C-alpha cells in the first residue's frame, strides 16, 4: 500500500509538502503540485483514514444513534437512515450505525470516549432526554431528529406536527366530518415523553377546541390487533364517529379490518387519514390511504448536515427546522356518511 512517504519520494518532495498539497493548507507552486498529483495518480495513493484522523484529531466519522427497540424500526426510519448515509458521504464523512439500548447511558458515554466519531445524530429524541443532557454536559457535538425541552440553542430537525394535525383535520372538516377522533401511539410512548406522540396529541386537542368540537382520542399500541380493538372501543363510546386521524401506521391494518368487519366500506362509511407516514405504506393498503407524508429523506439529510456544519464551524443556515407534511388525497377519505339514511336503506332493502 502506498503511503504519503512513497508519494513524496516519487515526486521528489518532502512529506509535508504532499500533506499541504492534499489539504490545501498552504500554497504550493503549480509545478510541484503537478508532480505530486501525478505521483499520487501513478501509485494509486489514498490517505490512510485512521492515521489522518489520529493526527488531525478529527475522524470524519459520525454516528447515527438509533434505539434498539423491541418492535424494530418502522419504514419511515429506514429512509432516515439511507438519506443520512448519503448526506454524510456527500460531505466526505462516514456514517456509523450505532444501535443501542435506550436505557444504557453508559454505552453512549463510551461511544463518545473512544473518539471514533466526531459527533452523533440522535434519533427518537424524547421530551426529557437523558442522552441529550449528557451530550450537552460533556460538550459532545450532536444534532437531533426530534426535539426536547430546553433546546433553544440546539440544532434539530423535526416534523411540524401541529401543522400536520391541523391539515389532517381541515381536510376531513372540508368533507363535512365533525366527529373526528385521534388514534395516538401507545400510552407508554406518550408517558415517556416521546415527542411525536406528545405533540400530535396536544395539537389535536387544541384544534378541536378551536372548532368547538369534542376532542376524542385514544392510545393504541403499535400493532394490528391493538388497532382493531381500539377502533371498536372508540366506536362503542362514540357511535357517531365518522373519521379518524392517526399517526399509528402499524395499527392501521387493524382499524381497516375492524371497519370491514362492521360491513362498512372505506371511505363511504368511514374516513381515515394517516399522518407522518410514507407513500410506500399508503399504497400498500386497500384502499390506498389519504396521508400526510413526511419527507423523511429530508430529515435524515438535514440532521446530518446540521451536525456537520457544526463540526466544521460553519454557521448553519437554520439551526432548527420544522418540516411540513404534504397532504396526499387517496381513497381512504370521503364525504361524511349519513348513517341514519344508510341504516334506513339497509332496513328497507
Partner DNA sequence: CTGTTAGCGCGTTCAT
Partner DNA sequence: ATGAACGCGCTAACAG
Would you tell me which residues interact with DNA (CB under 7 A)?
1, 3-5, 12-17, 19-20, 22-23, 25-29, 31-33, 45, 47-48, 51-52, 54-57
User: What number of other Cβ atoms are within 10 A of residue 271's Cβ?
Assistant: 25
Is 220 within 8 Å of 183 (Cβ atoms)? yes
Q: Binding mask 42-81 vs its own copies (x if CB under 8 A, - otherwise)?
A: --x-xxxxxx-xx----x-x--x-x-x---xx-x-xxx-x
Q: Binding mask 77-116 vs its own copies (x if CB under 8 A, - otherwise)?
A: xxx-xx--xx--x----xxxxxxx---------x--xxxx
How many Å apart are CA 72 and CA 312, to the nearest integer?
A: 33
> For residue 299, what is its C-alpha cell?
430529515
Is 311 within 8 Å of 140 (Cβ atoms)? no
How many Å apart are CA 45 and CA 303, to the nearest integer?
A: 32
Of residues 53 and 193, the one with the C-beta less far from its own copies: 53
How many Å apart are CA 165 and CA 170, to the nearest integer?
A: 8
Is 273 within 8 Å of 299 (Cβ atoms)? no
The most distant pair of C-alpha atoms in the chain lies apart, rounded to whole Å, by 98
Of residues 169 and 267, the one with the C-beta less far from its own copies: 267
Q: What is the enclosing helix (H) or strand (E) of 217?
A: strand 216-218
> For residue 7, what is its C-alpha cell?
508519494
Q: Which does 39 bind (CB under 5 to 8 A by kind): its own copies, DNA, none?
A: none
Of residues 112 and 217, the one with the C-beta less far from its own copies: 112
Of residues 4 and 275, the one with the C-beta less far from DNA: 4
What minimum distance in Å lies between the beta carbon of 316 and DNA? 22
What minimum distance in Å lies between the beta carbon of 138 and DNA? 16
* DSSP one-letter code for 289: P
Q: By CB under 8 A, tell whether 280 contacts its own copies.
A: yes
Please give the residue ranges that form the binding site for its own copies (CB under 8 A): 1, 44, 46-51, 53-54, 59, 61, 64, 66, 68, 72-73, 75, 77-79, 81-82, 85-86, 89, 94-100, 110, 113-116, 224, 250, 252-253, 256-257, 260, 280-281, 283-286, 288
Amino acid at each position: 500500500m502506498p503511503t504519503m512517504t512513497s508519494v513524496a519520494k516519487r515526486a521528489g518532495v518532502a512529506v509535508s509538502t504532499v500533506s499541504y498539497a492534499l489539504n490545501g493548507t498552504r500554497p504550493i507552486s503549480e509545478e510541484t503540485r503537478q508532480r505530486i498529483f501525478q505521483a499520487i495518480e501513478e501509485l494509486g495513493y489514498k490517505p490512510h483514514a485512521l492515521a489522518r484522523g489520529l493526527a488531525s484529531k478529527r475522524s470524519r466519522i459520525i454516528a447515527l444513534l438509533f434505539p434498539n427497540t423491541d418492535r424494530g424500526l418502522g419504514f419511515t426510519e429506514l429512509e432516515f437512515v439511507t438519506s443520512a448515509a448519503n448526506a454524510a458521504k456527500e460531505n466526505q464523512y462516514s456514517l456509523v450505525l450505532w444501535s443501542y439500548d435506550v436505557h444504557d447511558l453508559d454505552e453512549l458515554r463510551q461511544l463518545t470516549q473512544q473518539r471514533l466519531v466526531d459527533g452523533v445524530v440522535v434519533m427518537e429524541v424524547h421530551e426529557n432526554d437523558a442522552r441529550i443532557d449528557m451530550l450537552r454536559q460533556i460538550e459532545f457535538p450532536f444534532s437531533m431528529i426530534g426535539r426536547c425541552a430546553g433546546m433553544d440553542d440546539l440544532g434539530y430537525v423535526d416534523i411540524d406536527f401541529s401543522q400536520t394535525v391541523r391539515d389532517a383535520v381541515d381536510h376531513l372538516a372540508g368533507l363535512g366530518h365533525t366527529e373526528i377522533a385521534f388514534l395516538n401511539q401507545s400510552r407508554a410512548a406518550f408517558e415517556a415523553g416521546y415527542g411525536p406522540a406528545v405533540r400530535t396529541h396536544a395539537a389535536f386537542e387544541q384544534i378541536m377546541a378551536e372548532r368547538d368540537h369534542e376532542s376524542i382520542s385514544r392510545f393504541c399500541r403499535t400493532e394490528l390487533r391493538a388497532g382493531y380493538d381500539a377502533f371498536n372501543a372508540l366506536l362503542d363510546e362514540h357511535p357517531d364517529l365518522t373519521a379518524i386521524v392517526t399517526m399509528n401506521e402499524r395499527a392501521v391494518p387493524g382499524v381497516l379490518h375492524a371497519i370491514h368487519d362492521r360491513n362498512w366500506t372505506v371511505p363511504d362509511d368511514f374516513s381515515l387519514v394517516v399522518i407522518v407516514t410514507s407513500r410506500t405504506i399508503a399504497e400498500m393498503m386497500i384502499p390506498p390511504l389519504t396521508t400526510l407524508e413526511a419527507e423523511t429523506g429530508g430529515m435524515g439529510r438535514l440532521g446530518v448536515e446540521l451536525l456537520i456544519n457544526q463540526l466544521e464551524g460553519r454557521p448553519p443556515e437554520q439551526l432548527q427546522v420544522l418540516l411540513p407534511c404534504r397532504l396526499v388525497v387517496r381513497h381512504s377519505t370521503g364525504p361524511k356518511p349519513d348513517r341514519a339514511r344508510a341504516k334506513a336503506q339497509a332496513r328497507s332493502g
